[in-house]
Amino acid sequence: MRVLFDGYYWFDGPPAGIVITHEKIAAWRREFPDDVLTVALRRSPTPAEAADLQRQGVRWIRTYLPTQPLKNMIELSLRVRLGPYDMAWGSNYSPLLGKSAVFVHDALFQSNPEWFTTIERIYLSPIMIAARAASVLFVSSRTEAARIAAHNPHLTPTAVTGFGVSHALLDAIPAPPPALDLRPGSFVLSVGRLNTRKNLATTLSAAVRSGAISPTRPFVVVGPANGKADQLDQRVLAAIDDGSIRYTGFVETEHLAWLYRNTALFVYLSLDEGYGLPPLEALRLGAPVLVSERPIFRELLGEAVRYCDPTDVDAVARAMTLCLSTDPPPMPPGFEFPSWEHMVHTMRESMAGPKSVFGRRSTS
């Protein structure tokens, strides 16, 4: 099979977007070495980057339109119609012409528009329109498949793929972030983009109210600001001033691995997710995990973590106290972490098989 992949996040973008782009293609090369893979990049690679692509056995082309929607819907369409490709694969935005697959990450901008800025909603609005042109529609979870179908009756996802955990994170040699002066087991951790949906204001208010954090056992927040953000109350601002709450911004992979492996508790109280990689990463690296009582986390994490109502500050405070004073739940028998290999096998089977014909879709 000759596949042209959307490589908009090959070099730059949200960390999760970069990880998914690279891991997906690396797994595809491992599992299907006879396929010809080409990545559509938004800039030409440097000589070192081109050599790395060649080493991975991946070809590349350059795209020129200014945004991901235009690149995918127009440029990838023309490339697959005129070039030597069996199918184009887009992230969120499907090519409009030719045989195509699209991976739609979530429909949260439809179910909860209040979590997004006006500009974000405008930028995301073509996703579901373009998806009607796709031969194959992938999603990451059964929960998200149901949301997409509920808000888009004419779209039925072809297959649920899941995501794995980054090999770079799993294989990293853990190193403590030098500027934070943390000891193993002496901090609480949260990871993710800092926006309204991530519910950080409630999380931090609960952490302060619980009395479980202090300058010697801080709450560490890893992640860049993104989109609509919440206002923090005065007690939280005071905790930031005295070092009980510490923001790190972006951290390198070896530092993130150390934080996951050494935290006393990982907390992720997002109001909702299409998938939610950080708690999966934390659990995979051995952290006790507290997450929101939401269907997506029940689907992914089952009984391996603890849950609480993310909108109730007192309930979150009690849950944090409980988690920090008791052992985490044991790993349930038969629990399996999702893998990149499963993802690419599911995708390729759908792209090559009879379900790739639009109108013959069934969620799996």
Q: Is residue 131 part of a domain?
A: yes
pLDDT of residue 100 exceeding 70, the answer is: yes
Q: What global pTM score does this model have? A: 0.91
Helix, strand, coil: what percent of the chain each, to 5? 45, 15, 40
**Domain shared by 133 and 213, yes or no:** no
What is the total count of domains within the chain? 2
Residue whose C-alpha is closest to residue 353's, from 155, 141, 85, 99: 99
- Residue 104 is assigned to a structural domain of this protein: yes
In a domain, 333, yes or no: no
- Cα(135)–Cα(98) distance, integer angstroms: 9
Assess whether pLDDT exceeds 90 at residue 193: no
Q: Residue 245: pLDDT above 60?
A: yes
Indicate whether 26 belongs to any domain.
yes
Are residue 171 and residue 286 in the same domain, yes or no? yes
Query: Which pLDDT band, with edges at 50, 70 and 90, does 232 fall under?
Result: confident
Answer for the pair 25, 340: CB distance below 8 angstroms, yes or no: no
Who contacts 34 (Cβ-Cβ below 8 Å, separation ≥6)? none
pLDDT at 65 > cutoff 80? yes
pLDDT in tens, 16-34: 899 999 999 999 999 999 9
Closest CA to 20 of 127, 138, 120: 138
**Does residue 243 register a pLDDT over 90?**
yes
Q: Return the pLDDT at 230.
A: 65
* Pair (74, 217) in one structural domain: no
42: domain CATH number is: 3.40.50.2000
DSSP state of 284: H
What is the per-residue pLDDT for 363?
Answer: 38
**Alpha-carbon distance values, 132 to 21, 254, 362 (Å):** 23, 41, 15
Regarding whether 173 and 144 lie in a shared domain, the answer is: no
Give 114 or 359, the one with higher predicted confidence.
114
Looking at the fold, whether 68 and 186 belong to one and the same domain comes out as no
Residue with tokens 């590349």: 60
Residues 188 and 229 in one domain: yes
What residues contact 46, with CB distance under 8 A and at least 6 apart?
A: none
Domain contains 330? no
Question: What six digits make up the tokens of 144?
Answer: 């998200």
The pLDDT of residue 225: 63
* Model confidence pLDDT, tens digit, residues 179-191: 888 999 999 999 9
Determine the structural domain holding residue 188 and report its residue range: 167-325
Write the pLDDT tens digit of every residue in 39-62: 999 999 999 999 999 999 999 999
Residues 209, 349, single domain; the answer is no
What does the pLDDT average to over 321-335?
94
SS3 188: strand
Within a domain: residue 334? no
Instruction: Please determine, for residue 359, whether its predicted confidence score (pLDDT) is greater than 70.
Output: no
User: Does residue 194 sit in the same domain as residue 131?
Assistant: no
Q: Is residue 222 part of a domain?
A: yes
Of 116, 124, 76, nearest to 96 (Cα)? 76
Query: For all residues of the chain together, what is the average pLDDT?
Result: 92
Same domain, 24 and 159: yes
pLDDT band at 226 (very low <50, low <70, confident <90, very high): low
Give the pLDDT of residue 358.
32
Q: Tell me what the mean pLDDT of segment 300-328 comes to.
A: 96
* Whole-number pLDDT of residue 355: 47
Q: Domain check: are 51 and 144 in the same one?
A: yes
Q: For residue 364, is it within any domain?
A: no
Residues 132 and 208 in one domain: no
- Judge whether residue 93 has pLDDT over 50: yes
Whether residues 273 and 145 share a domain: the answer is no
Q: Is 192 left (phi over 0), alpha (psi -120 to 50) or beta?
A: left
Q: 147-192, pLDDT tens digit by residue? A: 999 999 999 889 999 999 999 999 999 999 998 889 999 999 999 8
